[in-house]
Chains A and B, each alone.
Chain A
Amino acid sequence: MSQIDPKSSLPESPEEAARSGTLIASLALKQRAGGIGVPAATVIVAFLMGGLVVLATGHNPFLAYRDIFNGAGLNWIFHPTTNVANTAAYNLSQTLLQTTTLILCGLAVAFAFRCGMFNIGGQGQYLIGLVVGNWVGVDFAGMAPLPHILLVLVAGTAAGAAWAGIAGLLKATVGAHEVISTIMLNWIAVWCGAWLFGDGGPLQNSANPTVPISNDVADSAKLPVFWGQQELQGLHIGFFIALAALVVFYLVLNRTTLGYEVRAVGFNPDAAAYGGINVKKNLFRAMAISGAFAGLAGALDMTGYLYHFGQIDVQTSSVGFLGIAVALLGRNTAVGTGLGALLFGALLFGTTHGLTSSVIQPELAGSLTYIIQGLVVLFVGADVLILYVWNSRKRLRPRAKAATA
């Protein structure tokens, strides 16, 4: 056993150590304590290791990262322009399109986390938002644009909230662990979507009955594009809705009684109950609010640039899972989640566009995002794991030492 700095163990009284023994409580503590240093170091190490993978395939990691940087349009800041004929500007608009989704999927994880729960179900809640967004966007054709857009967004948000609410309800009533129930709800969402969009499914397109893809949403449900052209997948105003969601997230948590209850339950459910807070109600409510963020992400994607969705898309989509890495990296704060979403948005788009095989192996390019995502989750998770093991080691030590005497 290596010598571990005893300083780290001093400020904890035995009660505190025991109390923070649960994984989630340790994480909450760590999330507060870490500041910006830990996530920054996490990103750097993840990129270094990603670089080693690039190196192992016989390419220069610096060139690869430079091209990813440029591919994501981040070089735009050296020559800012709003003209999307400019490659950098176009790339950036596409990066921000991804960022929009990731902000909301990140918030879906972060909000539940602040209430002491791990929402792995962002993907399922996102899919439900997409599905309902498509349905309302297609079937309610003929409405005026503004009410139609509002209706789609509200419906998608509510659907995401309801989907996550199931997990919240199960947790509050019978104590079913949210990690298990949200994972299962993800699969239910996937197969519901596959059926709805599949051959003969209720949402399959009417024009071509052999293609398992939905109809396009009505023009009245399409979000206005403010940067680029609608036909070329320009950046829609959903980007601002996502930014607003970051502000709402911050204000709700820090300035409302609802947020106070959520945080109290997240940190210490016993103390919250003692304070007169209804813990079960808050578990349900926080889960539903989490799902609302993810559902909104789905509805925005549907009305912002996807317009339709196919059976294959349902089965291969994974952006909701990236929200976990975004939230963990962002330490479940508003600003952190925004920055984390930008980082992963840039990676998502930058690794799939404009890279040549002279710089990076094509098969590796798309996977690099997921390698880095995996490493981030591993490091942030490992951080917690190390703390957890260290705490239990401390509890066991006197006996373990005695046992070896």
Chain B
Amino acid sequence: MASAEVVLEMRGIRKEFPGVLANDDVALDVRQGEVHALLGENGAGKSTLMNILYGLYKPDAGEILLRGRPVVFGSARDAIQSGIGMVHQHFMLIPVMTVAENIVLGVEPRAGLLLDEAGAERRVAALSKQYGLVVDPAALVGDITVGQEQRVEILKALYRGAEILVLDEPTAVLTPQEARELFGIINSLKADGKSIIFISHKLNEVLEIADRITVLRRGRVIETVPREGATEASLARAMVGREVLLRVDKKPAQPGDVLLSVEDLHVVDDRGIEKVRGVSFDVRAGEIVGIAGVDGNGQTELIDALTGLSASASGRVHVAGDDVTNVSARRVLDAGLGHIPEDRQRRGLVLEFSIAENIELHDYAKPPVARAGWIYPKRMIELARKLIKDFDVRGGGPLTRAGGLSGGNQQKVVAAREIARDPKVLIAAQPTRGLDVGAIEYLHRRIIEERDKGRAILLISLELEEIFSLSDRILVIYEGKIVGEHTGEVSEDEIGLEMLGGKEAAVA
């Protein structure tokens, strides 16, 4: 490996934004045919570094060498012409166009004045065969799965001649099976001599796929190590700067009374499609029930119906014995339900509000904060100050704008609000999405503490690892139905298959 040619070298990269040193003397070298992982917490400077490589940012200092030649990228176009491809976390495809059309967009093969549709499909098919990137060139992007969309993005980069491919958190949207297929694709790209920069904050996959690993922390390179010899613990320590508890310690659950009960719930969405199709389950005091599933299988609609944010078509929901079927969100809150929503920026917080105002999002009209419609800001601030301390929110005081906090601290504000209301039932939807190791550790510990205090906790997550490490009972949701329930030992593979609709579907 060491003998392979260094295709990319970044030296002494420095990039400063107002108040933040995003990259400080960062060095990175990538060899031909290598998978090089870039590991770091959110805000460690991974994206800044890659945006510099892709020509989106101009570094304040430092240089980029491609095969030993210094290059300056004024724009992404320059980077693409030099053989750098990037697959963003959020795909940029046009749903009403076909796979082939999306891939050739802007560099279309022409037949006269018209797009050579057949030619485009032929070229795309050849390319996808070469790397085992199975996808139908004639399919509409709107009809294919997220995993396939990602392949289209990779094909797009390859079609433009990418030799160095940057994958930004590529597994975040994939099921375990899809992730494994992606790793297969990465290996075939590698065998063809392509170099891959793999951005991630998931330790296990980095250890699985990477040849070398560069760890960033607060804009600086902490170390670049070969995979051999690296462990999850050593990488976590490098990332966070202290020892991290990777496995959640918890005592066996001691389930009590049923606090949340859902009976034969059906939910129909705005377009008239039935998204939840007869779901029934109970959550007892002192237990965590995890719902595993691929994104878009009815989880969002289920949560919205449970929390009063949308109406259900039929079925019953009880919170602590109180019938809260199709009542207002306010009534559900008052019945003793706390809800950490899946999207903290869209729903969990008013980003323009201060932390103090956000903490009162449910109780702004109740004493002690308000009386007879009049708000007492001092009391709001006092309460916020206490919760900020209790929940270790860093990066601001009660009057700091919530939008100015890091993702982890934003989530702590949401968790503080929901837990401080002393709910009987706590719904935690994707509670650690996009958070770094330190914040995940804190939130997981907190969720288990709340379980041990006797709350009933419903966890909905797309991260199987999270479901496994927290849940006392696991339910699997597929196309709006609960297709599996597990209490004892169960393998990730088994759950993964159920998430895809059972063994038959997965084999076919």
Chain A residues with CB under 8 Å of chain B are 1, 6-7, 10-11, 13-16, 19, 28-29, 32, 255-261, 263-264, 267-268, 270-276, 278, 395-399, 401-405
For the complex formed, measure the closest distance between the CB of A280 and the CB atoms of chain B, giving whole angstroms: 12
- For B75, the closest partner residue in chain A by CB is A401
Residues of chain B within 8 A of A403, CB atoms compared = 105-107
A-B pairs with the 5 shortest C-beta distances?
A403-B106, A275-B361, A401-B76, A276-B330, A257-B365
B403 neighbours in A (Cβ, 8 Å): 16
Query: At the interface, yes or no: B357 with Cβ under 8 Å from chain A?
Result: yes
Picked from A6, A255, A270, A402, the residue with its CB within 8 Å of the CB of B58 is A6
B351 CB-CB contact with A under 8 Å: yes
Query: Residue-by-residue, is B327-338 near A (CB-CB < 8 Å gives 1, otherwise 0)?
Result: 011100100000
- Chain B nearest CB from A139 CB (Å) reads 35
Instruction: Indicate if B391 sits at the interface (CB-CB under 8 A).
Output: no
CA distance A261 to B92 in the complex (A): 35
Determine which of B106, B156, B346 lies in contact with A15 in the assembled complex, contact meaning CB atoms within 8 Å. B346
Known: A260-B357, A274-B341. A402 touches B346 (CB 8 A): no
Chain B residues whose CB sits within 8 angstroms of the CB of A267 once the complex forms = 350-353
Q: How far is the CA of A278 from the CA of B341 in the complex (A)?
A: 18
- Set of chain B residues within 8 Å of A260, measured between Cβ atoms: 357, 360, 364-365, 375
| A110→B89 CA distance, assembly (Å) | 38
Contacts of B20 in A (CB 8 A): 10
When chains A and B are docked, how far (Å) is the Cα of A403 from the Cα of B159?
Answer: 12
Given A10-B20, A271-B350, A273-B329, are A402 and B76 also a contact pair (CB < 8 Å)? yes
> B41-52 interface mask toward A, CB cutoff 8 Å, 1 = contact, 0 = none?
000000000000
Q: Is the CB of B77 within 8 A of A404?
A: yes
- From known contacts A255-B377, A257-B365, A403-B107, infer whether A274 and B328 are also in contact, taking CB-CB under 8 Å: no
Question: Could you pull out 19 A-B pairs where Cβ atoms are within 8 angstroms?
Answer: A6-B17, A11-B404, A13-B407, A15-B345, A256-B375, A257-B373, A264-B353, A268-B351, A271-B348, A271-B349, A273-B309, A274-B329, A275-B329, A275-B364, A398-B86, A399-B105, A402-B76, A402-B77, A404-B77
Chain A residues within an 8 Å CB radius of B18: 7, 10
A70 to B75, CA, bound (A): 54
Nearest Cβ on chain B to A227's Cβ, whole angstroms: 35
The listed residue (B80, B81, B89, B328) touching A14 by CB distance below 8 A is: B89
Distance in Å: Cβ of B210 to nearest Cβ of chain A:
24
B364 touches A257 (CB 8 A): yes
Chain A, residue nearest B108 (CB) = A403
Q: Is there contact, CB below 8 Å, between B77 and A405?
A: yes
Name which residue of chain B comes closest to A251, CB basis. B374
With A14-B89, A267-B350, A276-B329 known as contacts, the answer to whether A405 contacts B80 (CB < 8 A) is yes
Once the chains are docked, how many angstroms separate the CA of A404 from the CA of B80? 10
Nearest CB on A from B78, distance (A): 9
* Known contacts A14-B89, A260-B357, A273-B329; A255/B374 CB under 8 A: yes
Q: Does B442 contact A (CB under 8 A)?
A: no
Given A257-B365, A260-B364, 11 extra CB contacts under 8 A: A13-B407, A14-B90, A16-B351, A19-B351, A256-B374, A260-B365, A273-B309, A273-B329, A276-B329, A276-B330, A401-B80
Question: Chain B contacts of A259 at CB under 8 A?
Answer: 375
Bits for B65-93, please: 1 = Cβ < 8 Å to A, else 0: 00000000001110011000010111010
Given A7-B18, A16-B351: A257 touches B80 (CB 8 Å cut-off): no
Give, as a whole number of angstroms, the nearest-CB distance from A259 to chain B: 8
Kindly report which residue of chain A lies nearest to residue B74, judged by CB atoms: A3
Contact of B343 with A by CB under 8 A: yes
Do B375 and A255 have beta carbons less than 8 Å apart? yes
B415 CB to nearest A CB, Å: 14
Q: Who on chain B is nearest to A260 by CB?
A: B364
- Shortest C-beta distance, B431 to chain A (Å), equals 15
Q: How far is the CB of B477 from chain A (nearest CB, A)?
A: 22
Q: State A263–B328 Cα separation when bound (angstroms).
A: 20
* Chain A residue with Cβ nearest B365: A257
A202 to B313, CA, bound (A): 53
Tell me if A272 and B346 are in contact (CB < 8 A).
no
Whether the pair A402, B160 counts as a contact (CB closer than 8 A) is yes
What is the distance, in angstroms, from A37's C-beta to the closest C-beta of chain B? 16
Q: Which residues of A contact B362 (CB under 8 A)?
A: 275-276
A264 contacts across to B, CB distance below 8 A:
350, 353, 361
Give the chain B neighbours of A15 by CB distance below 8 A: 343, 345-346
Instruction: Judge whether B106 and A402 touch: CB under 8 Å.
Output: yes
Least Cβ–Cβ distance between B404 and chain A, in angstroms = 8
Is there contact, CB below 8 Å, between B352 and A29?
Answer: yes
Q: Is the CB of B346 within 8 A of A19?
A: yes
Q: Is B347 an interface residue (CB 8 A)?
A: yes
What is the distance, in angstroms, from B416's C-beta to the closest C-beta of chain A?
Answer: 15
Closest chain A residue to B349, Cβ basis: A271
Let me know if B131 is at the binding interface, CB within 8 A: no
Q: How far is the CA of A278 from the CA of B317 in the complex (A)?
A: 21
Q: Which residues of A contact B77 (CB under 8 A)?
A: 401-402, 404-405
Q: How far is the CB of A263 from chain B (nearest CB, A)?
A: 7
Contact digits for B267-308, partner A, Cβ 8 Å, 1 yes 0 no: 000000000000000000000000000000000000000010
- Interface presence of B212 (CB below 8 A): no
Are B92 and A398 interface neighbours, CB within 8 A?
A: yes
Quote the shortest CB–CB distance from A396 to chain B (angstroms).
8
Decide if A397 touches B345 in the complex (CB within 8 Å): no
Shortest distance from the beta carbon of B358 to any chain A beta carbon, whole Å: 8
| Complex Cα spacing A16 to B57, Å | 19
Most chain B Cβ neighbours within 10 Å, of A7, A275, A399: A275
Check if A405 sits within 8 Å of B106, measured CB to CB: yes
Q: Report Cα–Cα, A191/B89, bound state, in Å.
A: 55
Q: How far is the CA of A23 from the CA of B399 in the complex (A)?
A: 26
Q: B339 at interface (Cβ–Cβ under 8 A)?
A: yes
Tell me which residues across on chain B come within 8 A of A404, comparing CB atoms: 77, 106
Chain A residues whose CB sits within 8 angstroms of the CB of B76 once the complex forms: 397-398, 401-402
Partner among B81, B352, B373 whose Cβ is within 8 Å of the Cβ of A258: B373
List chain A residues, Cβ under 8 A from B348: 271, 274
Taking CB atoms, residues of chain A closer than 8 Å to B75 are 1, 401
- Contact yes or no, A271 B361, CB < 8 A: yes
Residue of chain A at shortest CB distance from B364: A260
